[in-house]
Amino acid sequence: MNWFLIALIAPLAYSIANFIDKILLSKYFRSFSLFVFIIYSAITTIIVLPVFIIFGGTGILQIPLNDILILITAGICQAVAIYFYLFALYREDTSLVVPFFQLIPIFSFILGFFILNEVLSTGQIIGSAIIIFGAAILSFEIEEGRKIKFRHHVISAMILMSILVALGGVLFKFVAVSNNFWLSNFWESVGFALVGSTIFIFRKKDRNEFYDSVRLHKLKITLSVLLSEIITLGGNLSLNFAFLLAPVALVRVAEGYQSIFALVIGIIITKMFPKVLQEKMHWRHLVPKILTIIVILVGSYLILN
């Protein structure tokens, strides 16, 4: 089974979810706490937990306790990483935050080497570097005369996010490679849900804001948020499965295609639904992106051959 094709499902899913989130965030959720999004994510995760048990086909306690604790830790890492991402996104433009995602494959390579003993070939390293470079360039969108200026806490948040995401993926593979895939996802999701549940139970302000978001925006918006979370969860599952078929660092590199999918989806939405969302379509923005897409494709060729 081709790990690369499976891994590509994740950036496609994330791109679709990102556009849903972008529309919801700009229109409905600007006044709410970052923790409200994590509560929504936790609810979606809890709803899906029985599915993992059904597909797992065996008892959830079949996995050794130590492995369960590692998987729960992986889920907690992913949940906390989302908070750091949202924290940075609230304080900087998306175009200046997204390039930091290219740190994830680098940290995955380092952690995969020390924890999983994963080693990449020379061609894979060169191809990965090309994709990371291309994806980073594709992610930048600097307007004329604008200076790039980051606040140090934004940089720190994105670096921590990248480390946590990389660590979560490596820990998942460390355990799942010798255990049931679906039950491994179950316990990782339990870790994620624990974070959201803890926020809901112990942070009254965020719990009330969650109730307000449901009450003010009614069922239609709530379902839209849950749809985004389900799509994201599907991407996470494909990513976790790809981890079992290839080195974690290589799978993470495939996420560089998220910029390509985002560009294509943005063009489609702008052309077909201009009242919903409008992306920049001037040649000044499109030509550099098309050129960097070619660079990413070259990197992919080197990885797969």
Q: Max Cα separation, the chain?
A: 60
Domain that holds residue 260: 3-304
Per-residue pLDDT of the chain (305 residues; tens, 9 = 90+): 588 899 999 989 988 887 787 777 666 666 677 788 889 889 889 998 998 988 887 677 789 999 999 999 999 999 999 999 888 877 765 656 766 777 888 888 889 989 999 888 888 788 878 877 776 666 555 544 555 555 678 778 888 998 999 999 999 999 999 999 999 999 999 999 999 999 999 999 999 988 888 887 667 777 877 888 889 889 999 999 999 999 998 888 887 777 778 778 877 777 777 766 655 556 666 666 677 677 767 776 677 66
The helix (H) or strand (E) run that includes residue 57 is none
SS3 64: coil
Task: For Cα atoms 247, 248, 249, give the angle at the middle one, nearest 5 degrees.
Answer: 90
The helix (H) or strand (E) run that includes residue 166 is helix 152-176
How far is 79 from 193, CA to CA, in rounded Å? 8
Place of tokens 């894979």: 124
Count of structural domains, the chain: 1
Q: 27: how many CB neighbours lie within 10 A of its CB? A: 11
| Rounded alpha-carbon distances, angstroms, from residue 286 to 12, 67, 139, 248 | 19, 46, 12, 31
